[in-house]
Structure formats: C-alpha cells, structure tokens
Amino acid sequence: MRTPALFLSLLLSVCGFAADAVLAPFVQREELAGAVALVASKAKVLSVTTVGFADIEAKKPMSADSVFWIASQSKGITATAVMMLVDEGKISLDDPVEKYLPEFKDQKVAAGKGAPVARARSVTIRDLLSHVSGLPFKSAEEVPTLDGLSLAAAVKTYAKAPLATQPGAKYQYSNAGINSAARVLEVVSGMAYEDFMDKRLFGPLGMKDTTFWPNAEQVSRLAKTYKPDASKKKLTLGGLGQLKADLTDRTHRFPMPAGGLFSTAKDVSTFCRMLLNGGELDGRRYVSAAALKELSSRQTPKELKDSYGLGFAVGPDFFGHGGAQATGMEVRTKDGLVLVWMVQHQGFPGKGGQAQGEFKKWAAKEFGGK
C-alpha cells in the first residue's frame, strides 16, 4: 500500500493553523491512513487540519467534510436529548425505569451459579446514562451486528435477563443502558428516537451530515476503516463489522442510540460548541444550565474508580467521549475549546488514540488559555 509521493503530498492538506507537524508522521509511517482534526471556540471553528487518505486504494485524500462512523460518541448526544425531557419536566433522572418500560419490573440480579436474587432498588434513568445500571454491554440477540433490532425489541432482550450487578454498585460500560434510556425518550415523547433527534437536535443545529443512515452521497464521502496488518508495519483494510453492510438500508438496519451515528468533524463541533456555550447556540437554547451540569458532572459513586457523567466521560476541566474507531470529541471548559478528532482506525485506542493525544497537546499549546 505504499505510495510515498502521494503520502508526502497529502501531509500538508491543511487549512487554518497547522497541526500537521504532529499528525503527518503517523501517516508517513503508515500507522494511520488519515485524519481530520478540528479546534473550535464558543464562537467559531478555529482550525481544521486534514492529513492522509480517506481511501488509500483510490488515492482519495481526507477532506474536511469526510464522513465517519462516530460510534460511542453517540452516547453523549443521546444523553443530551434525554435531558431535554428532564428540562421539560416530563421525566426525572431518578425515576425508576419500569415507570416507563414495564418490562423491567421485577428484573432480578445474577448471583453466580445460584438463582437470581431480588434487586436492592430499581434501576433509574440516571443509572442507565452513567453505566451503573447492572445491564450488560449488549444482549445475546445483538449478534453479529448491533443494529439488527428495533429499539423496542432490543430493550426487551435486556429486560428479560438478570442484571449483572445491583444497581449503582459497579461501573459497567453498557450500550444496553444508553439504548434503554433512548427507549424511555420514545415512550415519553411519543416520537421515534431518530425523529426526535432530527427534529430537536440535528435539524435546528444544522447538523446535516449526522445520521444513522448515511445516504449514497454521504457514503461516497465515508472514510474507509484501516487496521494494522499482521506485521504491524503496514495498514490493511478493515471494516464496520458491528454494523450491517448496507448502511443506507432503513428496512433491516435500526438506529442505535449508544453507537450508531455517522457524522463529520464540523457537525460534531457544532454540537460541542452548543454544550460549551452552556446549552445554547445562535440564540436557541437546547438544554438548561442545570441539565448541562448533570451531563458533565461525575455521576458514578465516589468509591468507584471510573468517572462518568451522563453519556460523557468527565474530568476536572473537560467532558467528552470517544468512539470505537478511535474518534473523539472533547469540550474543554477551562480553555473554552472544543476538540474533535476523526479517524477510522481499528484497534482502539491504538495509533489512532496516540495521534489524538498528540493533537490534544498541540491544541493546548496553540490555543489553550487564549
């Protein structure tokens, strides 16, 4: 797959401030096919850097409008939508899930080889969004792909099995929890989850390339996935094995709130800028300051190691989320910055994560505190 002249010519495919100095070596060493790195402030996009290829075989350069599967970055976006209903007084974070989804009533907790035992308390919506519900990552029925069941059907598969742990007792990263919270959104709003997202978030924010079903034109802009080959010295073509092959298929593919979204760097930055601006953008409020505080504050019990908010990983001065293909978004509240990192690289976090770390250090040096 070596095409040295093209690799070198694409290292400087950059607009704005140049992050290519730290990113280009990953492409030159064939550790990454390509990437899009974006920095924004509350007011605007400050820098967009593109390096390498969206498709090595076709010699197609990465571009600012390349489309990516953002996978678990979907979790924070879904949680934000759920908080809209909290703001409207239609649900409470501490409501028991069975109030809206009766299939969860009387769900028990696994007890090793013994018979399942009763729950100490009900699972709450807060538990679902912070990965302490006791629900698994996925159900057995969500194999081989994660997008083969409707949301209502998927949630029923979660409810029929015992919880792995007592609610609130352990952090256990869970697609099932986020998906169940989105099912609550459907029941309470009376809208299909994907319709709610389009009407309440993606449409108003102008996120025209954010979707569960990329159309043919968007698929033409989709960056291909690569992974290290057996030698670990070159890249070979990977894929989106967790999703059904025909991404445009609305009959057999279903929206997955925990990880089904496709998007662009610009669209993701728009969503993050709304959060950085306290829940509003361009004169329109999406979530309240109180809702944003819930999203971006630690929800996991102090005695647990993992620090997670509602749909977001949280730290002292930031919150955000990554995706299975090593993508990432970060809202840096102290610096007033949004960082968006787009790659399609298997082997999470791998070289995709390493390159993202270099991008973050560059962004902090170039823009931090300004």
Catalytic residues: 72
The contacts of residue 329 (CB under 8 Å, 6+ apart) are 70, 73, 76, 268, 269, 271, 272, 320, 321, 322, 338, 339, 340, 341
Calpha distance 4→320 (Å, rounded): 35
Cβ atoms within 10 A of the Cβ of 227, count? 18
Cβ atoms within 10 A of the Cβ of 281, count? 19
* Separation in Å, CA 37 to CA 82, 134, 233, 346: 28, 35, 24, 18
Calpha distance 359→23 (Å, rounded): 7
Long-range contacts formed by 303-307: CB under 8 A, 24+ apart:
304/132, 304/170, 304/171, 305/171, 306/131, 306/171
Sign of CA dihedral 259, 262, 263, 264: positive
Q: Cβ(136)–Cβ(158) under 8 Å?
A: yes
The contacts of residue 278 (CB under 8 Å, 6+ apart) are 289, 292
Question: Which single residue is written with the structure tokens 């992050």?
Answer: 19
Residue 221 backbone phi and psi in degrees, to 5: -100, 0
| Secondary structure (3-state) at 36 | strand
The contacts of residue 74 (CB under 8 Å, 6+ apart) are 178, 256, 257, 258, 259, 260, 261, 323
Calpha distance 269→263 (Å, rounded): 10
| Secondary structure (3-state) at 275 | helix
Calpha distance 17→2 (Å, rounded): 28
